[in-house]
Structure 1
C-alpha cells in the first residue's frame, strides 16, 4: 500500500486531507487491484523494477485477486477487519454527526451552487400583464426545443418567477373590480402561485403565503409557514452558497436537477420587485431605501421571512 500511495500522490488527482482520507484509500485500493490484474506493479523509485515478478503469479495471483475482490465487495468497511483501524473508525462511524466525505459530493454541490447563482440573477422588469403573458408564451416555445438539463432548469425557474410577478401585478390591480371578478381572479392567482411553488425552488412557496396574508387568510398563511419551517430544517438545504456538501449529495445526489431545486434550493424573498410590491407593509421602507440609493431592493432571508409572515398573521 505504501508504494500505491506514492504513485497516487504523483498522479495528483486527489486531495490528501483528513476529511478525504477514506476516499483516497479507496482509490489506492482500486489501483492496487488494477496492478494485480496486469501483473505489473512498478517500484516507485525504480520504475523498471516490477515488484510482482516471480511473486504474484499463477495460483498466488488468483488467490490474491479473490481476496482483494472480497474486500472490494465489502467497500470501505473492509478496514474494520483490522483491529487497529477498527478501534479508530468505530467511534467516528457511530457518531450521528459524522458524514463520509467523497469527491463526487463536492463536485455535485459546487456545480449546483454555480447553477443556482447564475439562474437567480435572471430578472424580468416588465410591469405589463401582456408582456408577462408574452414571456410565458416564449418560454413554452423554448421548452419544446432540444435543451440541456441546465437550460430546462433555467426555463423552469423563469416560468416560476414570471408566474409570481404576474400574480402580484394582478393582485395590485384588482382592488376596484367587482366581487365576481375578484373571486375569479383569486382562483387564477392562487393557481399561478401554486404552479410557481411546484416549478420553482423552495422559497417560491412563501409567495403563496404572502398572497394569503394579503387576502386575510391567516390560517392558510400559518399552514404554509409551518410546512416551510419543516422543509428548511433539513440538513441538506442549499442556501445561496452555504451547504453541507456531503449531506446534500447523499440526500439529493440521485435526483434530477428540477427535483433538487424544488426541495433543496433556498434564496431570499424580495418584498418589492421592480415597483411591484409583494408585501405592502414594507413599501415605505423600500421607498426610503430607494431615495438614498438607486436600484436597491429589500430582501428578506427565507428563514427570517417565514417568521415575519407567521408573526404578522397571528
Structure 2
C-alpha cells in the first residue's frame, strides 16, 4: 500500500514516497467493541486511538502480542500501554548500524589493525595507533562500550535528535543490543551492505572515466574495479556474481562475462539454493550445515538484482533506471534469472548468433516465474532482446505486456516502456512505408 504525496498525485522532485506492508493477520480497529469480531488467538489487534492526537495523527495501541519482529522492535511503553512507534523503529535501525560499526572499530583498535578500504592488506594504523597511544584509545572506547547505546548521548548532534524522546517520562526505550538485533544478523547485514557499497563503487569509478583517459590508465582503473567486484562477491550472495558479469560486458570483455555467467549457472542449479521458494532442507544441511552464516550466504543464497537508479550499470537499461528515478525509486529490482539470460544474450550476440538465440529461448522459458512484481521488467527485458534481433512485432507485444502490468505495486518503468513502444511502432511504420 502506497501513501504520502506520491499517492495523492504529486510528482515533484524531492516529493516523498512512502510504502507500507501490512501483515494480513494484523487488524486495526477503531473502537474496543470491535475486538469481539476477531479471533485473538491468531490475530494481532491494534487500536487506533485519536483521542489524544492532533488532526491527521493517531496512536496505534497494540492490544494483543505480535510475532512480527519489526512490530516487536518498534514497540514503546506509554502509561503502561504498548504502542507502535515509527520513530522508534528508525532509531533502532540507526542504533544497530552504529553499534555494529562501533564494535568493529573497537576490535581494530584492540588488534592494532585497520584494513585500508581500497587495499585491505594495508594497515591504516601502522605508525599511528600502537603502544601507549593504542592502549589509551582502547580504554576510552571500552568505557563508551560499557555504557551501551546510551553513549550516543555524549554526541551533541545525536543528543539533539533523540533528546525529546529520551526525556519523555511516559516512554521506555530499550537500549539492550541483544534485544535490538542478534549478533549474527548484525554481521550478515553489515556484510551485505559492504558488498553493495563495493559494487556501486566499481561502476561509479568506471563511469567517471573520460574519452581522454589513456589506455594504461583505463586498464589500471578497470582492474581495480574488477578486484573490488570480486571482493564484493566474497561478501555477498551467489547472485552477486552477476555484477562481475555486468562489468565485463560493460567493458567489452564478452568471453570473461560468459565465463562468470556459466559459473553462476552451476551455483544456481544446486538443490540447496535458497531463492524465492522452498528449499530442500536435507540437501541444504548436507551442503552448508554447520558452516558460518557468511559461508551460507555466499554459497547457498540468491536474490534478485537491484540496480541503483543513479548509477549506469549497462546502457541497455538506462531508460528503465531513469524512469524509476523520476518517480522516486532509488533501486530497480530485476528477477535474477531474467538478468542472467539477458546478459548471456547480450554477450553472445557479439560472438555467436546461434547461442544468442539459445539465450533468448532460455529467457522465454523463465516467463512463468514472473507474473506480478517482477513481471513488468521481465517483459521489458524480453522486448529489448527481441528489438535488438529485429523482431519488432514480438518486441511490441512484450512491451505491451509490460505496460499491462503497470497497475502492480513497484512497477517503476512505465515511462520507459511507453517510449520503447513509441520507438517500435515508428520503426514498424517505417518498414511498411518502404
Question: Structure 2 length as normaliser, TM-score?
Answer: 0.38
Residue 311 of structure 1, aligned match among 345, 355, 364: 345
- Encode CA deviations 1:169-206: one digit per residue, 9 max, x unaligned: 10111133222221110111111011111121111111
RMSD (Å) for aligned C-alpha atoms: 2.7
Question: Are residues 205 and 140 of structure 1, via their aligned partners in 2, closer, same or farther at CA, if it must alter by over 3 Å?
Answer: farther
Give the match for residue 219 of structure 1: 255
The question of whether the paired residues in 1 share the 8 Å contact of 2:310 and 2:321 is answered with no
What SS does the aligned partner of 1:294 have?
coil
Q: Secondary structure at the match of 2:217?
A: helix
CA distance in 1, matches of 2:234, 2:294: 10
**Structure 1 position 238 matched with structure 2 position 202:** no
Q: In the alignment, does 2:105 pair up with 1:141?
A: yes
Looking at CA atoms only, which structure, 1 or 2, has the larger radius of gyration? 1
Q: For residues 117-128 of structure 1, what are the structure 2 equivalents within 5 Å?
A: none
Structure showing greater relative contact order (alpha-carbon pairs closer than 8 Å, 6 or more residues apart): 1
Q: Determine if the alignment matches structure 1 residue 169 to structure 2 residue 214.
A: no
Deviations 1:130-177 (A, max 9, x none): xxxxxxx98963764899333222222222111111001101111332
Structure 2: distance between partners of 1:139 and 1:227: 36
Distance 1:240 1:141, change over 3 A: farther
Distance (whole Å) between structure 2 residues aligned to residue 217 and residue 150 of structure 1: 37
Is residue 259 of structure 1 aligned with residue 223 of structure 2? no
Gaps of 5+ in 1: 1-110, 112-136
Q: More helix by proportion, 1 or 2?
A: 1
Alignment partner of 1:295 out of 322, 325, 329: 329
**Is the Cα contact below 8 Å between 2:308 and 2:330 reproduced in 1?**
no
Give 1:289 deviation, angstroms: 4.0
Match for residue 156 of structure 1? 191
- CA 1:173/1:296 → structure 2, altered by over 3 Å: closer, same or farther? closer
| Distance change in 2, residues 1:313/1:138 (3 Å) | farther
Q: Report the number of matched residues.
A: 177
Counterpart residue number, 2:136? none
1:68-87, Cα deviation, whole Å (9 max, x unpaired) = xxxxxxxxxxxxxxxxxxxx
Equivalent position SS for 1:236: coil
**Alignment-derived partner of residue 7 in structure 2:** none
CA contact (8 A) 1:163 1:196 kept: yes
Distance 1:277 1:142 in 2: 36
Q: Specify whether residues 143 and 166 from structure 1 end up closer, same or farther in structure 2 by C-alpha distance, changes over 3 A only.
A: farther
Q: Does the 8 Å contact 2:203/2:312 carry over to 1?
A: yes
Distance 1:142 1:283, change over 3 A: farther
Whether the 8 Å contact between 1:210 and 1:221 is mirrored in structure 2 is yes
Question: Which residue of structure 2 aligns with residue 23 of structure 1?
Answer: none
Q: Is the 8 A contact 1:235 1:244 kept in 2?
A: yes
Give me the whole-angstrom Cα distance separating, in 1, the residues matched to 2:193 and 2:103.
Answer: 8
Contact kept? 2:235, 2:298, Cα under 8 Å: yes
SS in 1 for 2:238: coil
| Contact 1:236-1:251 at 8 Å conserved across structures | yes
Q: Does 1:200 align with 2:236?
A: yes
More strand by share: 2
Q: Which runs of 5+ in 2 are unaligned?
A: 1-68, 70-100, 111-144, 146-181, 349-434
Distance 1:256 1:174 in 2: 39
Query: 1:280 corresponds to which residue?
Result: 315
Query: Aligned with 1:298: secondary structure?
Result: strand
**Please, what TM-score do these two structures have when normalized by structure 1?**
0.51
